[in-house]
Amino acid sequence: MREHLGFLKTSSAVVKIAAWIFLLFGFIGGIGIFLGLVPGEPRWKGLLTLVGFFFFFSFLYIIAKIADLLINIINEIKKE
């Protein structure tokens, strides 16, 4: 299991960065739609976009945190 620690650390960092990028783009897009900057789209889609991207952010961030937790568990097992 020790040979996978580098992969877990790297993938956790990449997924966290991707989660924050999705949240940023979702926030910008959702606010843009909500403020009426996108012609032809109703304002309620802006709120739906914000909620959807926040859910996607939460999902990705939880996956990264589970990988971090797995790394900590493996490190604790190595100590014993």
Cα 28 to Cα 34: distance, rounded to the nearest angstrom: 10
> Structure pTM?
0.83
Per-residue pLDDT tens over the stretch 20-79? 999 999 999 999 999 989 898 899 999 999 999 999 999 999 999 999 999 999 888 877
Domain ranges of the chain: 2-79
10: how many CB neighbours lie within 10 A of its CB? 11
Count of other CB atoms within 10 angstroms of residue 53: 19
Alpha carbon separation from 48 to 19, 23, 52 (Å, rounded):
18, 13, 6
Residue 63 CA to residue 46 CA, distance in Å, equals: 26
Q: Which residue has the tokens 């580098």?
A: 6
pLDDT-derived band at 6, boundaries 50, 70, 90: confident
